[in-house]
Amino acid sequence: MSRLLHTLVVLAFAGATQAQQSFTLRQAIDYGRSHSPAMAIAANDQRKADAVAQEAVAGYLPQINGAGSLDDNLKRQTTILPAGTFGSEPRAVQFGTQFNTNLSVQADQVLIDVAQLNGIQANKPNREMAAIKLKQAEEQLVYDVAKAYAQVQTYREQVALLDENIKQYEELVPILRLRLEKGVVQQLDVDRVVVTQRNINSQRTLAQANYEVALAQLKRTMGMPVQEQMTIADAVRTAADMHQPSTSAFALDKLLGYRYNQQSELLYGIDLKRKRNAFLPTLSAYGRYGAMAQGNELGASYDNWFGFAAVGLKLNVPLFSGLRRISQIKQSEIALANLREQQRNANLGFELDYMSADTRLLSSTSTVSTDEDNLHLAERVFANTHLQYQQGLASLSDLLNADYQLKEARNNWTTSVLNRSIAVIDLEKAKGTLLDFANTL
């Protein structure tokens, strides 16, 4: 009967919010995937990585630039021609015109630049890292939504159980007052029950407040405006019906964090190669075409255009950079060595997270089963004590003690259910299978 009343209370709670949008856990996760700011930021970072890759490739494509200039030679430079050129004495002359206009277009093409090719090689790990970060953002979203959802379930269950308890006292207090009038019970008995009733009402107010705060946190995690109305559809599962984690074994290569670290190490290695190859010569080709107008009057100068064109090769041989490149190489070597040590430490942490999550799941599964059995027992004890009290076979103290034990059993059960729900998603995340698990909800 007690479980039936509890079910009716839950249904009544759901009926009061039927005008609101109701979400299952799977629907809440899907909503978060399309509305969460964290997911939008990760998607933007992935597009940014694509743009960076295009920028790196652009360095090996033709570079075409135009240039133009207009010179007003207010005072032309004087050159001394040595004696014997145009006479027996040195002669001062001025070359050129007052106005010079120069227009040109030049195309440059890199032919050999190994360091720049290394930059292009970095595109692949950069893109892989951006894709992994997007998956990590999704995984964190699933984890946060599932955890917040379980918290809301717990507080909603507490509210429903307290509502059931309140109804019991609303029935008991009038009976005691009637017995008080008949002289069957004392005023102290009525007062004790009233105090207990008020305490339960206070607990219910606190549980309702916790529920509303947890629901607001769930909305925020999903990316939903806090003022929008919603409720959750999934009921708290019994021990027999709870989600079971996947049976896949722990493997480092399934973890997004491990795969991200691998790409990061590859990227550091490419950067080291790029700095080492900066010592190699570079070769590029160019082609230039332009025209020049000259004259001593600005307007008339544009009547005299003289074209020019050139093609050629440019070779750059780094000889000495003040030990700057050597210092950069040493810094990259140290950074790569530190990264490898950090990854080794991270791998140990991944294994520890898995072992801890697996242990917590085993413990919480056993606890929730024990607490559920204890709850059923406490419900039977209270029901029998309540019946005996009505028949005069049990004292009020026996009834209040049974009620206290029932509330303790309910609190223990809801807490263990929450801990077990969190332990499941912790284990799935530690194994790198949280996204697959979410798709099975």
Position 17 scores a pLDDT of: 42
What CA–CA distance (Å, rounded) separates 46 from 40? 10
Residue with tokens 């530690």: 430
Evaluated on CA atoms 181, 183, 188, 190, the torsion sign reads negative
Residue carrying structure tokens 């890199």: 110
Q: What is the per-residue pLDDT for 180?
A: 85
Domain residue ranges of the chain, discontinuous segments joined by +? 2-60+113-280+322-438, 64-111+283-317
Task: Dump pLDDT digits (tens) for 303-348.
Answer: 889 999 999 999 999 888 778 889 999 999 999 999 999 999 999 9
What is the CATH architecture of 64-111+283-317?
Single Sheet (2.20)
**2-60+113-280+322-438 maps to CATH 1.20.1600.10:** yes
| 226-230 own/partner pairs: CB under 8 Å, 24+ apart | 228/21, 229/17, 229/19, 229/20, 229/21, 230/20, 230/21, 230/22, 230/23
pLDDT band (50, 70, 90) for residue 170: confident
The pLDDT-based confidence of 19 (bands split at 50, 70, 90) is low
Mean pLDDT in residue range 208-230: 94
| Contact (Cβ atoms closer than 8 angstroms) between residue 235 and residue 10 | yes
The pLDDT tens digits for 84-128 are 666 677 877 777 888 999 999 999 999 999 999 998 999 999 999
* pLDDT over 70 (residue 166): yes
How many Å apart are CA 70 and CA 223, to the nearest integer?
Answer: 58
- 277 burial (CB, 10 Å; 0-12 / 13-18 / 19+) is middle
Q: What is the DSSP string of 166-209?
A: HHHHHHHHHHHHHHHHHTSS-HHHHHHHHHHHHHHHHHHHHHHH
Q: Exposure of 97 by Cβ count < 10 A (0-12 exposed, 13-18 middle, 19+ buried)?
A: middle
pLDDT category of residue 5 using cuts at 50, 70 and 90: very low
* Cα–Cα dist 48/251, whole Å: 31
Which parts of 280-393 fold into alpha helices (H)? 298-301, 324-390
Place of tokens 């009525």: 190
